[in-house]
Structure 1
């Protein structure tokens, strides 16, 4: 907004019945609103060969789902752990193996 002195404001109000002053203020408000509104964004184009909903080219879905363990499996492993037996793949800490 431009700096207006009280004399400028009084002069604009007296000219043309205040119509010039109202038009000036409306233009200033419109300019401020134009700066405030967001410009429309343009989405980038899809890459060549894009197929919505498909796996990307050169890839495929995983082979299998994770293994689900039953409650009996968990209990059996918990009992082994409580007895001091580790899992078969655990390294031995005795130093002689």
Structure 2
């Protein structure tokens, strides 16, 4: 930063530069808080504005699930065959590991 000695202040006062020096320090301090001016990035010559990037395409719609897929997934979840974990409570069938019908 600025290491200013009392002798420097005395010399500036004698030359009449102290007021200008202090004003310059105030201006520098104010400018320090301002962000630098924004510069526009260099345009990419291979990019077409509004177009998908080369080699890509818009997302496709999600296909409909086949009939009975939700019921089959729910059955696998309930029986534990989806995760490989079998229920070991006393009410469950020990051969299948599934809960009895309620």
Which TM-score applies when normalising by structure 2? 0.48
Which TM-score applies when normalising by structure 1? 0.50
| Higher normalized helix content (fraction of residues) | 1
